[in-house]
Structure 1
Amino acid sequence: MQSARPPALPLFLLFLTSAGLAQAPASSPPAGPTFDVVSIERNTDQPRVSGVTDRPDGGIRATNVRAGQLIARAYPPAIPADIAGLPDWATTERYDVIATSTLTRATPEDRAAMMRAMLAERFNLIAHVEHPELPVYDLVLARSDGKLGRGLTPTEVDCEAQLAAERVVDDLMEGDTTLANLAGALRTYTGRSVVDKTGLTGFYRVKMTVDLMASRRPEAAALRPDAPSVFTAVQDDLGLKLQSSRATGLRLVVDRIERPTPN
């Protein structure tokens, strides 16, 4: 009998990048697209399912999410671990959010701008960005001869046209991407920023077996001691290595946030 696993996370969500932070200060939403209609409801049922579904037009359906998750989506490449100054309720209370859009097709920048506008209007969010020196991981070649693992092969596929095919299923992370985007995806599971220093350009097919949930939740690792960690999988499957280093990082500081206004 197969054991129950947490719901898989679409890898394409992790690979989305944006210049949102460089385009506007975090203290106020920039001029740009906004959601058409927004519904925010407190979720007190505490269901096991939690996540965000993105529509091509930029609309979203978020189920059982914390405020920090929404803020991170508004200021990519931030993740919840980058956010400081959140009150207790913003890290514990959960919400269901449905937001519609009138755009035909939203870019990553559009999505971030709409989320920033919603947070400013409904959560009264004010924040600013800091860039302290932080511990990071450098993504480097593991072998001196430059040989790659069997899970990392060059491909002619344009990853931007194949994002929907990238996926995380059970313990398999697979998809076509660049090494820079792979570094961004790994960041979610290492707890630190990952800097691509492989020197590899172009698109690659990535395939590695890894216990992704244990990487993010140490208590899960105790339940599956034989499952490979992200660090092991990166080296064994990809022929790369995550090496400790320091670099200028990102910290999003929340100056003010309030519980969302009623619908």
Structure 2
Amino acid sequence: MASLLGRSITFAAVSLMGLMSWGAHAQNTSHPSFAVTSVKPYVGDPKPFSVRFDGGRAELGRITVADMLRFCYDLTTDEQIVNLPDWAKKDRWDIQATEEEDISHELETGPLDQRIALMRQLTLELLHERFGLRESKTTRVLSAYELTVSKAGAKVTPAGPVIEGFHGLDGGNGHITANGAPMSLLVMRMSAMPEVQGHPIVDHTGMSGEYNWKLNWTPELSALSANVSDLPSLFEALQQQLGLRLVPTKTAVPAIQVDNITKPSPD
């Protein structure tokens, strides 16, 4: 998983998963959109998809409609998308886009959550314009996890007003460092871990703002798990090191009902 660095923000998915939390963003227009887009079928090995916004351009590589919907609406699993045709789950696309100058400026400044929310709005509008998407919000009752604060309280440090170095999350499976990261990024990263088995994660911490922390654990599916390790499991590490808990539950989670979707004409 790529880190979130400076002006360039890249998401690389190691599996089909939801990303960061959906949030409102103050805009001059309620429907910000790309200036120009190019959509072409992807032909090649089915490598993980990527979403990159950098320097006035956006690139969505090897991506399916299902991937984009999960990105836009903070969905963890395809079970949260109702009435999506098979081609929208399987067909991959390479998409390139350019941004208007004012939108590009907003993507390079401000709190990370707001910048990510704008990326999602742009991607959603692309789905509306190029794929004819028409959708409505709904809920589905699914097995899920609630992210909560333990009784002893959270063990994270609020980020200062000036964040130096990378901004967000850095590190791979087993070691993550947060520098000015909101809880939504932790939810995103945990939803990709095999330990949660693809179940949605609902943030019930009530913690806004950005935080610094480090998390180290023994990954469930790695060579380390077959050997003696001093590091705890993911669930134990969350509670011991961050003062947070993932609690299994069955609850209503956000979902999207797809009312219309069509294949775009490549250009």
| Fold-level similarity (TM above 0.5) | yes
Displacement of 1:98 in angstroms is 0.5
Structure 1 counterpart of 2:172, one-letter code: V
Q: CA deviation at 1:155?
A: 3.4
Counterpart check, 1:121 vs 2:129: yes
Change (3 A) 1:224 1:90: farther
Q: 2:142 aligns with which of 108, 131, 134?
A: 134
Cross-structure match for 2:88: 90
More off after superposition, 193-202 vs 174-183? 193-202
Change (3 A) 1:147 1:34: closer
The CA distance in 1 between the partners of 2:132 and 2:203, in whole Å, is 36
1:157 to 154, 160, 170: 160
Which residue matches 1:32? 31
TM-score (norm: length of structure 2): 0.70
Question: Structure 1 residue 96: deviation in Å?
Answer: 0.8
CA distance in 1, matches of 2:53, 2:257: 26
Match of 2:246 in 1: 242
Contact 1:56 1:105 in 2 (8 A): no
Tell whether the 8 Å contact from 1:10 to 1:168 is kept in structure 2 after alignment: yes
Structure 2 portions without partners, runs of 5+ = 12-18, 108-114
Partner of 1:26: none
Change (3 A) 1:135 1:165: closer
Higher helix share: 1
Shift of residue 87 of structure 1? 1.6
Using the aligned pairs only, state the percent identity.
21
RMSD: 3.5
Distance in 2 separating the partners of 1:95 and 1:211: 35
Question: Is the alpha carbon distance of 1:222 and 1:174 closer, same or farther for their aligned partners in structure 2, counting shifts above 3 Å?
Answer: closer
Unpaired stretches in structure 1, ≥5 consecutive residues: 1-7, 24-29, 215-220
Between the aligned partners of 2:84 and 2:217, the Cα distance in structure 1 is 31
Structure 1 stretches of 4+ with a deviation exceeding 6 A read 159-163
| Distance change in 2, residues 1:180/1:108 (3 Å) | closer
> Which digits, 9 at most, give the CA deviation of each residue in 1:138-181, with x for residues without a partner?
22345x5x166xxx432342598877342233532211334465
Letter in 1 for 2:91: E
Secondary structure of residue in 2 paired with 1:46: coil
Q: What SS class does the counterpart of residue 71 from structure 2 fall into? A: helix
TM-score with structure 1 setting the length: 0.71
